[in-house]
Amino acid sequence: GFSLPAMAPPPSEQPDSAAAAGAGAISRVLIVMAMETEAMPLVNRFNLVEAPARESIFPKGASWTRYYGGHKDLHIDLVMPGKDAVFGVDSVGTVSASLVTYASVEALKPDLIINAGTAGGFKAKGASVGDVFIASDVAFHDRRIPIPVFDMYGVGARKTFAAPNILKELNFKAGKLSTGDSLDMCPQDEEMIVSNDATIKDMEGAAVAYVADIFSTPAIFVKAVTDIVDGDKPTPEEFLNNLISVTARLEVSVTKVLDFISGKRISDL
């Protein structure tokens, strides 16, 4: 008799070079991003390819997208909530961020999550346009539930996975991140943001952190400042004017993080 040669697993299941890296080394990284404009520089830098429909890990009706590829010892999956089915714009905000993160972590079992994106910064707390921060803490600022204990649940403050060596060696700024579903800031949000001691403000971070904690998957939050919330320019204008240039900086920063973590263990970060 003879034996058939083993069939090669489909490309998405083939062990990549990460399997050859040292024991315990980080192998699979999940990058979660909200906007296509923010993600494209990274997709191009690492020649990530869009997962074909037949390989989709997402429900049929979802607009969520996944790009994947390799870099050094890492397998990279970059996921986005994609375009809203009705309005055709990026599905920014906490609802879609948490869902796409949930589905991705469940299917891909990453060793590490990187939530990368843009944020508003507070100059009173030391932020300038173009700065790239790693968030030490995340919390919500638009979940006001003035009933004892529910109030704290609403804020949902949590420490992020501490990556002291990334902070130190790559010279990022560190600050607390506050998340809400609005780009602008009403007085009540402002009060909560101050109480959250936040330096930066985004629309996804705390939602990604919530899901990461469910899976006990370490997550780091890389946020590049497009606009100064306590400045004198209108936020939508300042955000759109700086989006392209700041996104280029974000790509450089995420690339540095990926270079740093390749071949390392979680405990080395």
Of 202, 236, 205, the C-alpha closest to 221 is: 205
Active site residue 169: no
Q: With CB under 6 A as the contact rule, which of the stretches 83-91, 94-102, 221-229, 260-268 interacts with ligand ADE?
A: 221-229
Instruction: Report if residue 235 touches ligand ADE, rule: CB under 6 A.
Output: yes
Instruction: Determine the Cα–Cα distance for residues 186 and 155; give it in Å rounded to an integer.
Output: 16
Q: What is the DSSP letter of 33?
A: -
- Residues with Cβ within 8 Å of residue 55, at least 6 apart in sequence: 10, 12
Instruction: Determine the Cα–Cα distance for residues 71 and 262; give it in Å rounded to an integer.
Output: 8
Nearer to ligand ADE, 111 or 142 (CB): 142
Closest approach, Cβ 144 to ligand ADE, in A, equals: 17
Q: With CB under 6 A as the contact rule, which of the stretches 15-23, 64-72, 153-161, 227-235 interacts with ligand ADE?
A: 227-235
Nearer to ligand ADE, 239 or 260 (CB): 239
Instruction: Determine the Cα–Cα distance for residues 205 and 232; give it in Å rounded to an integer.
Output: 25
Helices 94-108 and 205-214 sit at what angle, rounded to 10 degrees?
30
Nearer to ligand ADE, 48 or 228 (CB): 228
Name the token pair of 268. 């080395």
Active site residue 227: yes
Nearer to ligand ADE, 120 or 218 (CB): 120
Name the token pair of 104. 């991705």
Instruction: Report if residue 38 touches ligand ADE, rule: CB under 6 A.
Output: no
Q: With CB under 6 A as the contact rule, which of the stretches 5-13, 98-106, 139-147, 223-231 interacts with ligand ADE?
A: 223-231
Closest approach, Cβ 201 to ligand ADE, in A, equals: 4
Which positions are annotated as active-site residues?
A: 38, 227
